[in-house]
Protein backbone atom coordinates (compact mmCIF):
# COMPACT_ATOMS: atom_id res chain seq x y z
CA UNK A 1 0.00 0.00 0.00
CA UNK A 2 1.31 3.45 -0.94
CA UNK A 3 -0.09 6.32 1.14
CA UNK A 4 0.43 10.07 1.08
CA UNK A 5 -0.17 12.13 4.19
CA UNK A 6 0.83 15.52 5.57
CA UNK A 7 1.16 13.93 9.00
CA UNK A 8 3.75 11.66 10.57
CA UNK A 9 3.85 7.99 9.73
CA UNK A 10 1.50 6.02 11.95
CA UNK A 11 3.34 3.45 14.10
CA UNK A 12 0.58 0.85 13.57
CA UNK A 13 0.64 0.87 9.76
CA UNK A 14 0.16 -2.48 8.09
CA UNK A 15 3.30 -4.29 7.06
CA UNK A 16 4.35 -3.33 3.55
CA UNK A 17 2.73 0.13 3.69
CA UNK A 18 4.89 2.99 2.45
CA UNK A 19 3.99 6.53 3.42
CA UNK A 20 5.13 9.79 1.82
CA UNK A 21 4.46 13.43 2.55
CA UNK A 22 4.07 14.37 -1.13
CA UNK A 23 2.26 12.82 -4.07
CA UNK A 24 5.33 13.21 -6.28
CA UNK A 25 7.40 11.33 -3.72
CA UNK A 26 4.97 8.42 -3.87
CA UNK A 27 4.96 8.44 -7.67
CA UNK A 28 8.77 8.49 -7.80
CA UNK A 29 8.87 5.50 -5.46
CA UNK A 30 6.43 3.55 -7.66
CA UNK A 31 8.45 4.30 -10.79
CA UNK A 32 11.47 2.69 -9.13
CA UNK A 33 9.52 -0.23 -7.65
CA UNK A 34 7.39 -1.74 -10.45
CA UNK A 35 6.68 -4.78 -8.26
CA UNK A 36 4.40 -2.65 -6.07
CA UNK A 37 0.67 -2.39 -6.78
CA UNK A 38 0.16 0.89 -8.71
CA UNK A 39 -2.34 2.38 -6.30
CA UNK A 40 -1.87 5.53 -4.19
CA UNK A 41 -4.15 6.65 -1.37
CA UNK A 42 -3.88 10.37 -0.61
CA UNK A 43 -5.05 11.47 2.83
CA UNK A 44 -6.80 14.82 3.46
CA UNK A 45 -4.59 17.88 3.22
CA UNK A 46 -3.31 20.61 0.93
CA UNK A 47 -0.32 19.48 -1.11
CA UNK A 48 1.54 22.37 -2.72
CA UNK A 49 3.47 20.73 -5.53
CA UNK A 50 3.75 20.22 -9.25
CA UNK A 51 3.08 16.58 -10.07
CA UNK A 52 4.02 14.36 -13.03
CA UNK A 53 2.38 10.95 -13.46
CA UNK A 54 4.25 8.50 -15.72
CA UNK A 55 3.06 5.13 -14.36
CA UNK A 56 0.64 3.27 -16.66
CA UNK A 57 -2.39 1.92 -14.84
CA UNK A 58 -1.86 3.84 -11.62
CA UNK A 59 -4.89 4.73 -9.51
CA UNK A 60 -4.58 7.89 -7.40
CA UNK A 61 -7.49 8.28 -5.00
CA UNK A 62 -8.26 10.81 -2.31
CA UNK A 63 -9.20 9.45 1.12
CA UNK A 64 -11.97 11.94 1.81
CA UNK A 65 -13.63 12.33 5.20
CA UNK A 66 -16.96 11.80 3.50
CA UNK A 67 -17.46 9.41 0.61
CA UNK A 68 -16.86 10.99 -2.79
CA UNK A 69 -15.89 14.41 -1.43
CA UNK A 70 -12.91 15.68 -3.39
CA UNK A 71 -12.59 18.87 -1.33
CA UNK A 72 -10.53 17.15 1.36
CA UNK A 73 -7.52 16.37 -0.84
CA UNK A 74 -6.09 19.36 -2.71
CA UNK A 75 -3.12 19.29 -5.08
CA UNK A 76 -2.27 22.91 -5.84
CA UNK A 77 0.30 25.02 -7.63
CA UNK A 78 0.24 28.55 -9.03
CA UNK A 79 2.38 28.69 -12.17
CA UNK A 80 1.26 31.30 -14.71
CA UNK A 81 1.71 31.59 -18.45
CA UNK A 82 2.68 35.27 -18.30
CA UNK A 83 5.50 34.65 -15.84
CA UNK A 84 8.91 35.68 -17.21
CA UNK A 85 11.55 33.02 -16.61
CA UNK A 86 15.29 33.40 -16.12
CA UNK A 87 15.96 33.05 -19.86
CA UNK A 88 13.71 36.05 -20.54
CA UNK A 89 10.92 33.96 -22.07
CA UNK A 90 7.39 33.64 -20.82
CA UNK A 91 6.56 30.37 -19.15
CA UNK A 92 3.75 29.86 -21.67
CA UNK A 93 0.70 27.67 -21.42
CA UNK A 94 2.10 24.15 -21.33
CA UNK A 95 4.60 24.56 -18.51
CA UNK A 96 2.02 25.83 -16.04
CA UNK A 97 0.34 22.54 -15.12
CA UNK A 98 -0.24 21.48 -11.54
CA UNK A 99 -0.69 17.82 -12.52
CA UNK A 100 0.67 16.29 -15.74
CA UNK A 101 -0.60 12.82 -16.63
CA UNK A 102 1.74 11.27 -19.18
CA UNK A 103 0.69 7.61 -19.12
CA UNK A 104 -2.15 5.37 -20.26
CA UNK A 105 -4.87 3.74 -18.14
CA UNK A 106 -4.53 6.24 -15.28
CA UNK A 107 -7.42 6.81 -12.86
CA UNK A 108 -7.82 9.95 -10.73
CA UNK A 109 -10.55 9.82 -8.09
CA UNK A 110 -11.83 12.15 -5.33
CA UNK A 111 -9.09 14.74 -5.82
CA UNK A 112 -9.00 18.51 -6.18
CA UNK A 113 -6.39 19.66 -8.70
CA UNK A 114 -5.95 23.42 -8.70
CA UNK A 115 -3.97 26.07 -10.49
CA UNK A 116 -4.10 29.07 -8.16
CA UNK A 117 -2.38 31.60 -10.45
CA UNK A 118 -5.54 33.69 -10.79
CA UNK A 119 -7.54 35.29 -13.62
CA UNK A 120 -6.20 35.09 -17.13
CA UNK A 121 -6.33 38.87 -17.42
CA UNK A 122 -3.36 38.94 -15.03
CA UNK A 123 -1.81 35.48 -14.99
CA UNK A 124 -2.46 34.34 -18.55
CA UNK A 125 -2.97 30.65 -19.21
CA UNK A 126 -2.68 28.40 -16.15
CA UNK A 127 -3.38 24.67 -16.48
CA UNK A 128 -4.58 22.64 -13.51
CA UNK A 129 -4.65 19.21 -15.22
CA UNK A 130 -2.57 18.43 -18.32
CA UNK A 131 -4.13 15.11 -19.38
CA UNK A 132 -2.02 13.26 -21.96
CA UNK A 133 -2.98 9.61 -21.73
CA UNK A 134 -5.26 7.12 -23.45
CA UNK A 135 -8.07 5.43 -21.49
CA UNK A 136 -7.84 8.07 -18.74
CA UNK A 137 -10.59 8.10 -16.10
CA UNK A 138 -11.21 11.18 -13.94
CA UNK A 139 -13.90 10.36 -11.40
CA UNK A 140 -15.50 12.71 -8.88
CA UNK A 141 -12.68 15.25 -9.08
CA UNK A 142 -12.60 19.05 -8.84
CA UNK A 143 -10.48 20.85 -11.45
CA UNK A 144 -10.02 24.47 -10.41
CA UNK A 145 -8.51 27.37 -12.30
CA UNK A 146 -9.23 30.31 -14.53
CA UNK A 147 -7.91 30.34 -18.11
CA UNK A 148 -7.11 26.90 -19.64
CA UNK A 149 -7.95 24.83 -16.55
CA UNK A 150 -8.06 21.42 -18.27
CA UNK A 151 -5.92 20.49 -21.28
CA UNK A 152 -6.97 17.26 -22.97
CA UNK A 153 -3.96 16.34 -25.12
CA UNK A 154 -2.80 15.92 -27.85
CA UNK A 155 -1.55 19.26 -29.00
CA UNK A 156 -2.52 20.38 -32.50
CA UNK A 157 -0.05 19.40 -35.25
CA UNK A 158 1.47 22.88 -35.49
CA UNK A 159 1.68 25.96 -33.32
CA UNK A 160 0.42 29.28 -34.63
CA UNK A 161 2.68 31.49 -32.53
CA UNK A 162 6.40 30.79 -32.31
CA UNK A 163 7.23 28.84 -29.14
CA UNK A 164 3.53 28.48 -28.40
CA UNK A 165 3.86 24.80 -27.51
CA UNK A 166 6.95 24.94 -25.28
CA UNK A 167 6.47 22.24 -22.68
CA UNK A 168 6.89 18.52 -22.01
CA UNK A 169 5.29 17.28 -25.26
CA UNK A 170 6.27 20.05 -27.67
CA UNK A 171 8.09 17.71 -30.05
CA UNK A 172 6.35 14.43 -29.18
CA UNK A 173 4.35 12.59 -31.85
CA UNK A 174 0.69 13.57 -31.73
CA UNK A 175 -1.26 10.56 -30.47
CA UNK A 176 -5.03 10.30 -30.14
CA UNK A 177 -6.30 9.91 -26.56
CA UNK A 178 -9.64 8.86 -25.08
CA UNK A 179 -10.65 10.32 -21.73
CA UNK A 180 -13.68 9.88 -19.46
CA UNK A 181 -14.75 12.50 -16.90
CA UNK A 182 -17.56 11.45 -14.54
CA UNK A 183 -19.24 13.52 -11.81
CA UNK A 184 -16.53 16.17 -11.93
CA UNK A 185 -16.66 19.88 -11.10
CA UNK A 186 -14.61 21.93 -13.56
CA UNK A 187 -14.32 25.70 -13.34
CA UNK A 188 -12.63 28.43 -15.32
CA UNK A 189 -13.15 31.31 -17.72
CA UNK A 190 -11.57 31.37 -21.19
CA UNK A 191 -11.23 28.00 -22.98
CA UNK A 192 -11.16 26.17 -19.69
CA UNK A 193 -11.62 22.78 -21.36
CA UNK A 194 -9.40 22.62 -24.44
CA UNK A 195 -7.38 20.22 -26.57
CA UNK A 196 -7.54 17.40 -29.08
CA UNK A 197 -8.60 14.34 -27.07
CA UNK A 198 -11.79 12.39 -27.59
CA UNK A 199 -13.32 13.17 -24.20
CA UNK A 200 -16.67 12.16 -22.72
CA UNK A 201 -17.98 14.29 -19.84
CA UNK A 202 -20.86 12.68 -17.96
CA UNK A 203 -22.88 14.39 -15.21
CA UNK A 204 -20.22 17.07 -14.72
CA UNK A 205 -20.69 20.66 -13.52
CA UNK A 206 -18.96 23.29 -15.65
CA UNK A 207 -18.73 26.59 -13.80
CA UNK A 208 -17.84 29.77 -15.72
CA UNK A 209 -16.11 32.31 -13.48
CA UNK A 210 -16.70 36.03 -13.74
CA UNK A 211 -13.74 38.03 -15.02
CA UNK A 212 -13.18 41.64 -16.02
CA UNK A 213 -13.89 41.52 -19.75
CA UNK A 214 -16.93 42.01 -21.96
CA UNK A 215 -17.11 38.39 -23.10
CA UNK A 216 -16.54 36.51 -19.88
CA UNK A 217 -15.38 33.27 -21.37
CA UNK A 218 -15.66 30.10 -23.45
CA UNK A 219 -16.29 26.72 -21.86
CA UNK A 220 -14.82 24.42 -24.53
CA UNK A 221 -12.12 24.95 -27.15
CA UNK A 222 -11.60 21.65 -29.00
CA UNK A 223 -8.76 21.04 -31.43
CA UNK A 224 -10.04 17.68 -32.62
CA UNK A 225 -7.65 16.19 -35.20
CA UNK A 226 -8.90 16.22 -38.76
CA UNK A 227 -10.83 13.08 -39.68
CA UNK A 228 -11.92 11.98 -36.19
CA UNK A 229 -15.69 11.47 -35.83
CA UNK A 230 -15.73 12.49 -32.16
CA UNK A 231 -14.20 15.24 -30.06
CA UNK A 232 -15.88 16.46 -26.87
CA UNK A 233 -19.22 14.96 -25.86
CA UNK A 234 -20.97 16.37 -22.78
CA UNK A 235 -23.82 14.20 -21.52
CA UNK A 236 -26.21 15.40 -18.78
CA UNK A 237 -23.82 18.15 -17.68
CA UNK A 238 -24.71 21.42 -15.92
CA UNK A 239 -23.44 24.76 -17.19
CA UNK A 240 -23.46 27.15 -14.22
CA UNK A 241 -21.84 30.49 -13.47
CA UNK A 242 -21.57 33.67 -11.42
CA UNK A 243 -21.32 35.70 -14.65
CA UNK A 244 -24.00 38.12 -15.84
CA UNK A 245 -26.59 36.81 -18.25
CA UNK A 246 -25.62 36.27 -21.91
CA UNK A 247 -21.85 36.79 -21.47
CA UNK A 248 -20.32 33.31 -22.00
CA UNK A 249 -20.00 31.06 -25.06
CA UNK A 250 -20.41 27.29 -24.92
CA UNK A 251 -17.33 26.89 -27.06
CA UNK A 252 -15.22 27.74 -30.06
CA UNK A 253 -12.83 25.81 -32.34
CA UNK A 254 -9.19 26.09 -31.24
CA UNK A 255 -8.48 24.44 -34.56
CA UNK A 256 -10.78 24.26 -37.58
CA UNK A 257 -11.87 20.64 -37.06
CA UNK A 258 -12.91 21.07 -33.43
CA UNK A 259 -15.97 19.07 -32.34
CA UNK A 260 -18.24 19.51 -29.31
CA UNK A 261 -21.64 17.88 -28.81
CA UNK A 262 -24.00 18.57 -25.90
CA UNK A 263 -26.59 15.94 -24.96
CA UNK A 264 -29.39 16.60 -22.48
CA UNK A 265 -27.44 19.30 -20.65
CA UNK A 266 -28.79 22.00 -18.34
CA UNK A 267 -27.61 25.39 -19.57
CA UNK A 268 -27.77 28.49 -17.38
CA UNK A 269 -28.65 32.09 -18.34
CA UNK A 270 -24.99 33.14 -18.56
CA UNK A 271 -24.73 31.49 -22.00
CA UNK A 272 -25.09 33.83 -24.97
CA UNK A 273 -27.94 33.37 -27.42
CA UNK A 274 -25.41 32.55 -30.13
CA UNK A 275 -24.02 29.75 -27.98
CA UNK A 276 -20.99 29.12 -30.18
CA UNK A 277 -18.25 31.35 -31.59
CA UNK A 278 -16.13 30.61 -34.68
CA UNK A 279 -12.94 32.28 -33.31
CA UNK A 280 -12.68 34.16 -36.62
CA UNK A 281 -12.18 30.89 -38.51
CA UNK A 282 -14.50 30.96 -41.53
CA UNK A 283 -13.23 27.53 -42.61
CA UNK A 284 -14.58 26.13 -39.35
CA UNK A 285 -18.11 26.80 -40.59
CA UNK A 286 -17.74 23.73 -42.78
CA UNK A 287 -15.03 21.69 -41.01
CA UNK A 288 -15.99 21.93 -37.33
CA UNK A 289 -18.99 20.30 -35.66
CA UNK A 290 -20.82 21.95 -32.76
CA UNK A 291 -24.19 20.45 -31.89
CA UNK A 292 -26.87 20.17 -29.22
CA UNK A 293 -29.62 17.70 -28.41
CA UNK A 294 -32.29 17.72 -25.72
CA UNK A 295 -30.78 20.51 -23.63
CA UNK A 296 -32.84 22.63 -21.28
CA UNK A 297 -32.54 25.77 -19.20
CA UNK A 298 -32.51 29.53 -19.93
CA UNK A 299 -29.35 29.25 -22.04
CA UNK A 300 -30.58 26.37 -24.15
CA UNK A 301 -32.69 28.36 -26.61
CA UNK A 302 -31.68 27.48 -30.16
CA UNK A 303 -33.14 30.43 -32.05
CA UNK A 304 -29.97 32.52 -31.86
CA UNK A 305 -27.50 29.75 -32.72
CA UNK A 306 -25.34 30.28 -35.86
CA UNK A 307 -26.43 28.48 -39.00
CA UNK A 308 -23.14 26.57 -39.12
CA UNK A 309 -24.00 24.80 -35.83
CA UNK A 310 -26.27 21.79 -35.56
CA UNK A 311 -29.35 20.52 -33.75
CA UNK A 312 -29.28 16.74 -33.54
CA UNK A 313 -32.29 14.56 -34.11
CA UNK A 314 -33.05 11.70 -31.74
CA UNK A 315 -31.55 9.30 -34.28
CA UNK A 316 -28.41 11.44 -34.61
CA UNK A 317 -27.97 11.53 -30.83
CA UNK A 318 -27.83 7.74 -30.64
CA UNK A 319 -24.41 7.87 -32.29
CA UNK A 320 -22.95 9.63 -29.23
CA UNK A 321 -23.22 7.02 -26.50
CA UNK A 322 -20.24 6.62 -24.20
CA UNK A 323 -19.54 3.18 -25.67
CA UNK A 324 -19.46 4.48 -29.24
CA UNK A 325 -17.46 7.60 -28.51
CA UNK A 326 -14.77 5.96 -26.35
CA UNK A 327 -14.79 2.37 -27.63
CA UNK A 328 -12.14 2.73 -30.33
CA UNK A 329 -10.44 -0.28 -31.88
CA UNK A 330 -9.96 -2.01 -28.49
CA UNK A 331 -13.57 -1.63 -27.35
CA UNK A 332 -12.67 0.36 -24.23
CA UNK A 333 -15.63 0.69 -21.85
CA UNK A 334 -14.62 2.63 -18.74
CA UNK A 335 -16.30 1.60 -15.50
CA UNK A 336 -16.54 3.64 -12.32
* Chain segment 135-174, per-residue pLDDT in tens: 999 999 999 999 999 999 999 999 999 999 999 999 999 9
pLDDT at residue 64, as a whole number:
73
SS3 content of the chain, % helix, strand, coil (to 5): 10, 35, 55
CA distance 143 to 192: 10
Q: What percent of the chain has pLDDT over 90?
A: 93
pLDDT at residue 13, as a whole number:
63
Q: What percent of the chain has pLDDT over 70?
A: 97
Least confident of 16-20, 139-143, 324-328: 16-20
Q: What is the DSSP pairing of strand 238-241 with strand 205-208?
A: parallel
Q: What is the mean pLDDT of the chain?
A: 96
**Whether the Cβ atoms of residue 59 and residue 30 lie closer than 8 Å to each other:** no
pLDDT at residue 68, as a whole number:
60
pLDDT at residue 11, as a whole number:
55
* Chain segment 200-223, per-residue pLDDT in tens: 999 999 999 999 999 999 999 999
Asked whether the predicted pLDDT for residue 57 surpasses 70, the reply is: yes
Region 321-328 average pLDDT: 98
Asked whether the predicted pLDDT for residue 97 surpasses 60, the reply is: yes
Task: State the sign of the Cα–Cα–Cα–Cα dihedral 59, 60, 64, 67.
Answer: negative
CA distance 122 to 82: 8
pLDDT band at 257 (very low <50, low <70, confident <90, very high): very high
Closest by CA to 180, choosing from 144, 229, 140, 145, is 140
pLDDT at residue 235, as a whole number:
98
Region 57-86 average pLDDT: 90
pLDDT at residue 12, as a whole number:
55
pLDDT band at 70 (very low <50, low <70, confident <90, very high): confident
CA distance 220 to 218: 6
CB half-sphere exposure, 135, CA atoms < 13 A? 17
Region 233-256 average pLDDT: 98
Amino acid sequence: MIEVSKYKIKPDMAEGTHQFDSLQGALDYLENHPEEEPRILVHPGIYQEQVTVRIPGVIIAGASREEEDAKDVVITCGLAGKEILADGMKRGTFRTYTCFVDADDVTLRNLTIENSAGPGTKAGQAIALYADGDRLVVDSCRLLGWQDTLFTAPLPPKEIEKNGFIGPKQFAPRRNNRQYYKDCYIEGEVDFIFGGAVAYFESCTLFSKDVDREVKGFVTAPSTPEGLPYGYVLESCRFTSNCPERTVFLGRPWREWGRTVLLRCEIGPHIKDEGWDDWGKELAHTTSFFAEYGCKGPGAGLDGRPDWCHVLSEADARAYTREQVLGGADGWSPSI
